[in-house]
Structure 1
Amino acid sequence: MLARLSALLKLVAAVALILVLIDAVVFRSGWYAPWMEMDSTAGATVSNVLAIRHYTDPSRRNVLVLGDSRVAEGLSAPTADAALGNGDLHFVNAAIPGTSPRVWNYLLRKIDRAVNRYAAIVLMVDYGPTWGGSFADSPLDTSHLTPLLRLTDFFDYPASFHDADERERARRAILLPLQAIRLDVLDFVAQPTKRLDEIHDTRPIWIDVLNKYEGHKEALPDLPIDAATGMPNDWGTDAATLKPKLESYFSDLRTPVDPATIEANIDYEREWVGRIAARYRAHGIPVIVFNIPRGPWHGSLVAPPQPNRALLELARAGSIDLLPGDAFVQFEKPQFFFDTLHMNHAGREAFSALLARKIAPLVH
């Protein structure tokens, strides 16, 4: 019996060692990451790392702008450059849809290891973090970060989640990242030619056209709003299409958010914006924070955003520069949005130019 148990334990140990060695050779060496599927969450992170490096110009002072899909849609780096006369400052759109400051912290560690590539770091941060549930427990974060996490993150990163299941998932992703992306690997093995074509042909084209993207041309209609209810009193001639798309937006504006969630999200911003700020301020590089236009009718129905106390504390300590909460509320109108969250071409062009003009005086 003891001999069988000993043999079984040796077999288990051998299998574990093989898995660790495969993980070290294939994943931790960095070999596999560039071959991840572009449309996957982890693959999107890898593609954006390559795009950021591509658009960072070593001959100019680069201003890196981080955000989620609202910045991806709302910021035109060429328009921002042109607003300043295409001079010394060069804007780089580093937005990755579905991300927030925790992801940006590790992304910056990857793309700017020596903390010397950028003249300024610009963060899109919600001044009143009152929507989207718990920022700390976003399941997308580990999916985005699997290619960027290290073994040294084993304690710190999982501990940043409140939810026990998300903490465990984070630990597994760090210890055995190949297990976390096993479906991606299996798909690669099943269709290697398709993946190779995607990486060799599609990704370079995608990177090349990023700065040529002009945004959505369509705009939301200027609906008449009932001041008493905060809802449109006439949905127009296309009510059957508009009402299902927009009704929840208006109702959400009047729905109170759980105070405990607000407090947790404020703590989250203090932690992760603070980490980024500490890293860059130690090298004399400004970290600038702004609140992106919130939605197509926010400007007329909701008071301008005010920085929460975590952001104010960081600003008072000299860790960050805060743009005023009302800096961009002029774009919170339906003619500047193509849906309830993202700016259209007109909003993108106007916002990008104004953001550049407000950022430039803060870059040393």
Structure 2
Amino acid sequence: MSIGRDTIEVLVSAQWEKVLGALPGSIDDNFFELGGDSFKAARVASGLRMALGKEVPLHEMFDRPSVRTQAEFLRSQDTEGARGLVTMKADGGGAPLVLLPGGGGSLVGLGAFAGRGFDRPVYGLRAPGLCSGEVPVGSVGELSAHFADVLSAAAIPRRVHLAGYCFGGVFAYHLAEVLTGLGWEVLSVTLLDSSLAAPDLPHEEIVGQRLAQLMAGAGMDEPVEGPLTPDTLFARFQESGHDLLEEDAEAFQRRLNVYASLWRIVVDYRPQPVGIPVLLYSLPDRLDPQPPSAPVVSDWSELGCARFQQVDLPELDTALTAHPPVLEGVEKWLQESEGTAC
């Protein structure tokens, strides 16, 4: 499973894996205790410098020997990688793979796609709204326009694959339409357990559900005194010693707002069939039991895409985005889509 709670930590852990041959066990593992040395530290610094387009002094790798502390330094430098496009893997012979963010707006959980099993550059996009001063977008059109601007400003080939997990698959599908209209060649779209069945809920209820999920995920069974709000849950996390990415309640609130805004985007989205190859990996619980928001179609197979494939998977013991057969299947699909499979 990938290590990292946000885009920057995912990027750092991917560089560690490339240099050390394996992911760290946690974001607090010591680089040098895992077999790192000055030469390998220099390679990590070089990889981060290439990915972010920013100077990464070698001494910072020694002063900050964990994924957590290296990511803290990179965030403090106001890196472009924190705000737009992140290079998760710079080399490979195939067409680039661009990963779209899930509900949290970042690339958490997608680090395995930057592993050695993929023979291509891998990039990731981050949704606006997570950084101070940014505003979450209000429609899928605005989101795709933002992503198209970020990609167009980057020096990457205009012949790409798109993929996304959960909400990210919806965003990848729409972005494929937008990029095609701008003259890009989108070779394929991969939907990783993505559903169109997002219930139409108000912002406050979406945030409330997310707070309850975070609480349950942390194993907090005892009720919070008074109403469950972002401030009260953030304080509860701090008091109990549970790990959170955000250092303050304001940043935590921003993440929740991004989550709710992306949910609302899926509710309002009405997809159209595309001529691009589309592959869907589907787990048994992918479809929400509540009625879908789109009245025309309830699932991807009903869109009438010219080239659509669906792979139904059993319940997995590991995360879908870290499951080796899925990763291998996606790379094979990418190769077939660009006509390079053996």
Tell me the TM-score normalised to structure 2 length. 0.35
| Larger RCO, structures 1/2 (Cα 8 Å, 6+ apart) | 1
Structure showing greater Rg: 1
Which structure shows the higher helix fraction? Answer: 1
Tell me the TM-score normalised to structure 1 length. 0.33
